[in-house]
Chains A and B, each alone.
Chain A
């Protein structure tokens, strides 16, 4: 019985829960709470994206588009039409999931650079639409968003949002760990390892690529909705190309095919620019240097590389 509790998956979940529970003791002001919330939101998106990129080996440079769609759908329906935010969030996730399902089949026939180009195009199209349809979205000026409320209770303060974001992150981590350690997860990893080998033992590789694309899009959409209500302001930049690239960097930096790596990658890439602001003009230079050094010395990403080092030490 004890052994079941000492598995890496349980130990990891426990460590994450403890960190989320104890972190507020270290957070001194709303600014630091804000960073923690953004880390949790980004980490949740990146966990989903890591299932697609890290585990299944399919690139996407358009996931900020799905995030933006979820965010704008919630913003518009709640702010302009008075939908309950939770309903808007769920409907947004269903719509984004359906869109991802429809585009996935043609897009995921492509491989490598071509897949990158196609997803890039998809993200850009979404950003352009959000930019152009200003009667609905406010265009480049952005739009303000009503706060998140549920049963008359409004989520308003940073502290409240911190617990929501932390719970969502913990839930997403649990789902991701579940998927990976299951027949579905093995099929996803097999698609990455050898598509033809997966096919000849009965894995319908197309189905699993589509499935993981939809899952990752839904993760992004849900976070997009929450993010819109949290910041209470949206602009098309949130759905843009640079945000997509940022998400991919978080996956690679933290470590491909590692759920906890995704969290570490999101935490570093989200908080480091804030930590480095004291360097003023040199901020971006040092930031770039740190990223380069990490990728040179920990080429598999932070978490898998460190795990590898620990294993070698143990032997």
Chain B
């Protein structure tokens, strides 16, 4: 499971980074198009079949459950002295690493497909994941809303 999550996460960040690196350089403007980062340039899906919105939502549910469950298990082990015995500490670290990987994959879905709320948009705009906002696409039958702009 750890290898699978890590691999999917790497593919995901590699796609985004490759796309971002291939964007045109233009220091004079801050236009939307020049700096848009497509979350899913290769139109690859995490579901093996691109069969629309139902699977989109199922994937989101699955990644959310994995992320929350792994975070809980990791934190419970690290905060409980009795559980924090050999080699559970290492297992807790694996759980937290995988939770982060699932969060990354989940973020790709959420940023590309849904707007949660304006307040969360403002919070996310101050994080590492800010470039994810500039996505303009239809994905899994869900129309992507336009996010914040660079200005």
Do A and B truly interact?
no
